[in-house]
Amino acid sequence: MKKTGLILLLVIISSNAFSQGIFGGKVTGNFQMDLQMSKEDTVIGAEKVNEKALMNAFTNILYTNGDFSAGMRFEAYLNPILGFDKQYKGAGFAYRFASYKKDFLEITAGNFYEQFGSGLVFRSYEERNLGLDNAMDGLKVVARPINGLTIKGVIGKQRYYWEDVWASDDFGLIRGIDAEFTLNSLIKSIENSPLQVNFGGSFVSVYQKAENRFIIDPVSGDSYKINTPENIGSGAARVQMSYKAFNLNAEYAKKGQDPNAVNGYIFREGQAALISAGYAAKGLGINVSAKRIDNMSSKSKRNETGNMLNVNYLPALTRQHAYSLFAMYPYATQVNGEVGIQADIIYKIKKGSMLGGKYGTDLKLNYSRTMSIENESLAPNPAGNYEGTDGYSSSFFKVGDELYFEEINLEVSKKLSSDYKLSFMYSYQTFNPIAIGHPGEEFVYANVFAADLTQKLSKKNSLRYELQLLLTEQDYGEWAAGDWIQGTVEYNLGGKFFAAVSDQWNYGNAHGEKVHYYNLSVGYTHGTSRVQISYGKQREGIMCIGGVCRMVPASNGLFATITSSF
């Protein structure tokens, strides 16, 4: 009742504010609705959908008045669109908060998102297109007592679909604290020094009641009890430095014993290191990153696998692709262990030079490689597995011998004349199916090409032509087989209207049908509202954002999206 009353109050206040503006405050928000109608298509594997239409929708309403803000989000999944977990089915207020800043304190009660450092020990965030939301429900305090020092404290539980997480002891309680120092703001005399230094540290603890787990010796029938720890602590330290054109970022994190379903209930401690160094000058940017992850999955529920209840965030060190055929074989972070490097070089060939031409030419080179960590198994338990043991040993500076993913990308973009822009992209990818949880399968080696031409017809009319080609000898069979070609033509009118037609053709499929995945879409944008309707076939595949992936099942039919901001 109290909840309903509060929500009602918020709704009334917000709706009032539309017409009159309340106490000088400002109401903002957004809305999105996805509607899907898919029919059975056995050739592409689109399953029969019992409901006529599937729908995901949400709306955020936020009220801000100077140092005060409050907001909420209503979500409805009736029923969730294909690829979203069925447990999302339902509707309600999934997120509500109020926040106030007074002097040097900022207090948020209710739901919140937050990140410590790069997120190796704590990150609460949402990735709506993946159906991922690990919003905290609790209390957050941020203090900035002096210029250059920020202290954050959080306590709460994470969202799990529509579950009342406070009603169950199964959902762990997260407590965390983080401090960050901006040296050049703390010390006045070096404020404008070319050397800028920030450092910080965080500590996070997850509390979950112990559970009784037993290992049974299959021969003697003896059982051994595993004492699962109730408090799992993790800590991280980080530094960020820049000196003139150079910059360096590093973070190291360590996690205490955390036997869980993801690591097979081993007691080995976890660790993660992330380092990146860069050089940036006018027309040239270079960045090299490296990371090592060892047994670092951290969830607020011991027996949870999948994308929910992640306490931390372990980014994938690979390029995030925008072209669909380039993203056919994506990489997902291996939270139990991986070591990887990535390098980026971005260079602008000056205009007026021989290669640069009248407008200059942009070059982007990217390379990434991820390997397993060195791993020596320890003695197994009496049941023959590693549950309850330390699992394995691994040397920090040694790399394992299994390749997980490797990719090289080259992108060249050039404005040809005042009306034409051309970009060309090439990628060579080595994909180990272990990246999506299929160990021991044949690697896929793919050459992928894209050419993208934009033609300005008049001041506000334009056409875009895109051609992509994926060549591979392997017939992976899961969602892709052999060679693919894709063509797209898109027409834009004054940023208001667009129409596109595309076809993705699996012409190199040696065993199955050579399917055409055609798609027609039209869209209309007015200010901050946009409607887009597409009709066609969607191939089964994997969609990844930030190294976290979800399966997108095949579908055949209509998909409409409406978005709006206010």
Q: Binding other proteins by CB under 8 A: which of 134, 158, 182, 271? A: 182
Interacting residue with other proteins among 11, 47, 85, 242 (CB under 8 A): 242
Least distance in angstroms from the C-beta of 61 to other proteins: 9
Does residue 315 contact residue 336 with C-beta atoms inside 8 Å? Answer: no
Residue 268, exposed/middle/buried by CB under 10 A (0-12, 13-18, 19+)?
buried
Q: Evaluate whether 251 touches 273 at the Cβ level (below 8 Å).
A: yes
Q: Which residues from 333-362 bind other proteins, rule CB under 8 A?
A: 344-348, 359, 362
Binding mask 202-241 for other proteins (x = CB under 8 A): --------------------------------------x-
**Distance of alpha carbon 238 from alpha carbon 387, whole angstroms:** 32
Is there a contact between 442 and 430 (Cβ–Cβ < 8 Å)?
A: no
Closest CA to 557 of 47, 88, 30, 57: 47
Is 454 or 472 the residue whose CB approaches other proteins more closely? 454
**Judged by CB under 8 A, which stretch of 77-85, 113-121, 213-221, 504-512 contacts other proteins?**
113-121
The interface with other proteins within residues 76-95 (CB under 8 A) comprises: none
Q: How far is the CB of 286 from other proteins (least distance, A)?
A: 6
Residue type at 112 in one-letter notation: F
Determine the Cα–Cα distance for residues 203 and 247; give it in Å rounded to an integer. 25
Could you please report the per-residue DSSP string of 222-267? -EEEEE--SEEEEEEEEEEEEETTEEEEEEEEEE-----TTTTS--
Closer of 104 and 443 to other proteins (Cβ): 104
| Interacting residue with other proteins among 176, 547, 553, 557 (CB under 8 A) | 547
Q: Interface residues for other proteins in 319-338 (CB under 8 A)? A: 320-322
Q: Is 64 in the site for other proteins (CB under 8 A)?
A: yes
Tell me: does residue 504 bind other proteins (CB under 8 A): no
Q: Does 192 contact other proteins by CB under 8 A?
A: no
Site for other proteins in 259-278 (CB under 8 A): 274, 276, 278
Q: Of these, 389, 492, 506, 555, which contacts other proteins (CB under 8 A)? A: 492
* 518 interacts with other proteins by CB under 8 A: no
Query: Smallest distance, Å, CB 537 to other proteins?
Result: 23
Q: Three-state SS for 335?
A: coil
- For residues 264 and 267, give the distance between their C-alpha atoms in angstroms, rounded to a whole number: 9
**Can you tell me which residue has the tokens 């004349």?**
417
| Contact status: 67 vs other proteins (CB under 8 A) | yes
Instruction: Please measure the distance between the N-terminal and C-terminal CA atoms of the chain and give it in whole angstroms.
Output: 30
Q: Which of 48, 86, 459, 511 binds other proteins (CB under 8 A)?
A: 459
99 binds other proteins (CB under 8 A): yes
Minimum CB separation from other proteins for residue 103, in Å?
Answer: 12
* CA–centroid distance for 187 within its chain: 36
- The yes or no reply on residue 8 touching other proteins (CB under 8 A) is no
Restricting to residues 292-321, name those near other proteins by CB under 8 A: 313, 315-317, 320-321
Give the per-residue contact string, 362-391, with other proteins (x = CB under 8 A; - = no): x-x---------------------------
Q: HSE on the CB side for 381, CA within 13 Å?
A: 22
Nearer to other proteins, 226 or 345 (CB): 345
Q: Is 487 in the site for other proteins (CB under 8 A)?
A: no
Q: Which of 75, 71, 73 is nearest to 108 (CA)?
A: 71
Count of residues that interact with other proteins, criterion CB under 8 A = 108
Q: Which is nearer to other proteins, 123 or 268 (CB)?
A: 123
Bond from prior residue into 432 cis (ω within 30 degrees of 0): no
Q: Please, which of residues 390-419 interact with other proteins by CB under 8 A?
A: 413, 415
What is the distance between the alpha carbons of residues 565 and 59, in angstroms, rounded to a whole number? Answer: 9
> DSSP labels for 449-482?
EEEEEEEE-SSSEEEEEEEEEEEES----SS--S
CB 278 to other proteins: min, Å: 6
Residue 20 C-beta: closest distance to other proteins, Å: 14
Is 6 a residue that touches other proteins (CB under 8 A)? yes
565 binds other proteins (CB under 8 A): yes
d(CA 113, CA 485): 40
Task: Tell me whether residue 139 or residue 451 sits nearer to other proteins (CB atom).
Answer: 139
Buried b / exposed e across 20-38, counting CB within 10 Å, b at 16+? eeeeebebebebbbbbbbb
> Is beta strand 149-158 parallel, antiparallel or unpaired with respect to 136-143?
antiparallel
